[in-house]
Structure 1
Amino acid sequence: MTRRKIIGASLFFTLFGAMATLPPLILLFRFDGFVAGVPVATLFLFGLWVFLVIGAAWFGYALPRDEPHQLPGEERR
C-alpha cells in the first residue's frame, strides 16, 4: 500500500471508531443479554476498544516515518 492509501485508511478507521461509539449503534446491543455475567453492550464497547487500539498500533507501524526536509546547501547532521 502506498503512504497516501494508508493515511486514507487511517482516517476512515478513526471515523469508524467515532461513529461506532455513538448511541444509536450502541443501543442496538441494549437488551437483557449477558455473556458470563457481563452485559452484551459492555462486551461490545470493550471489544470495539480493543479493535481500535490494535488498529491504531498497526497504522503506527505501517506508516513510514517522515524524513525531515533539507534545504539546498544544508548539511545533514
Structure 2
Amino acid sequence: MERRKLVASMLVLTVFGTVLLVPPLVYVFNQPISHSGIPQIVIYLFGVWLLLVLGTAALARQLPDEPADPAAERETD
C-alpha cells in the first residue's frame, strides 16, 4: 500500500477513535451494568483503546522505511 494511503488511513483511524471517545457516546455505556464485576463503561473504554492501539500498530507495520537522508532519495529518482 502507498505511504499516502497509509497516512490517510491513520488519519481516519484517529478521527474514528476521537468520535468513539467523545462524552455523548461514552455516556451511552455509563449504565449500572457490570460484566464479571467490571463496569460496562470500563470495558468500552479499554476496548476502544485496545482497538486503536492494534489498528495503529497494524498500519505502522506497513509503512515503508524512510531513508536517513531525504536528499539521497531524490538522487535515486
Separation in 2, partners of 1:30, 1:69: 49
| Identity value in percent | 35
Equivalent residue letter for 1:70: A
TM value normalised by structure 2: 0.82
Structure 2: how far apart are the matches of 1:17 and 1:65?
26
* Match of residue 23 from structure 1: 23
Name structure 2 gaps, 5 residues minimum.
none
Alignment of 1:47-62 (within 5 A): 47-62=47-62
CA RMSD of aligned residues (A): 1.6
* TM-score normalised to structure 1 length: 0.82
- Could you say which structure has the larger radius of gyration? 1
